[in-house]
Amino acid sequence: MVYTAAMPINLACAVTDPIPAEIRPNPLDLHLGKRIRARRNAIGLSLEDLAQAMAVATETLLAMENGSQRVGPQLLHRLSIVLDVPFGYFFDGMPRELDADFPGTPFDDCDPVGDDMREALELVRAYLAISDEKKRQMVHQLARKLSENPSAE
């Protein structure tokens, strides 16, 4: 049910009834809005200045900061540039409970990379960290010999 200004409101119920889910801000939108406002205040930008830099209406930016308007990925990317923060800044400190409404396995419980792949990635990182070209060649030759596949490149 969507509420409009023309609808009568029973004040006795309004005090005790929770806000319907359709009009309640999403917790993720609230978190993003708080992070936007915190960064804006930290660098001393007014709401109007940031809105102008973002080419959005001041009311739109205010709605985003209040969590009542969703911030899309493109706008979030522009905000990260204007506010001079990495994209992930907006998600820092986001409570894990925000994932509770989404079905499936939490990402932390997943192992998107198997043990063999993880070991291979560690080996590649270690190999690339060797700055001495001769030592890198030696490691490469050793790996080829140990693999019992001398033609592997």
The one-letter code for the residue type at 99 is D
Q: Looking at mean pLDDT, say which of 69-78, 123-132, 143-152 comes out highest.
A: 69-78
For CA atoms 118, 120, 126, 131, give the dihedral sign.
negative
Q: Write down the pLDDT at residue 143.
A: 87
Q: How many residues does the chain have?
A: 153
Q: Which CATH architecture has domain 25-93?
A: Orthogonal Bundle (1.10)
Of 86, 94, 32, nearest to 64 by C-alpha is: 32
Helix, strand and coil in the chain, % to nearest 5: 60, 0, 40
Q: Where are the alpha helices (DSSP H) in 98-132?
A: 115-129
Is residue 114 scored above 90 in pLDDT?
no
Report the amino acid identity of residue 55. A
Collect all residues with Cβ–Cβ distance below 8 Å to 28 and sequence separation of at least 6: 94, 98
User: Residue 11 — pLDDT band, cuts 50, 70, 90?
Assistant: very low
Q: Please, is 133 exposed, middle or buried when counting C-beta atoms within 10 Å of its C-beta (0-12, 13-18, 19+)?
A: exposed
Domain boundaries defined on the chain? 25-93, 115-146
Provide mean pLDDT across the span 76-87: 94
pLDDT of residue 46: 95
Evaluate if pTM is beyond 0.85.
no
pLDDT digits (tens, 9 = 90+) for 18-51: 555 566 778 889 999 999 999 999 999 999 999 9
End-to-end CA distance of the chain: 64
User: Would you state the pLDDT for residue 135?
Assistant: 93
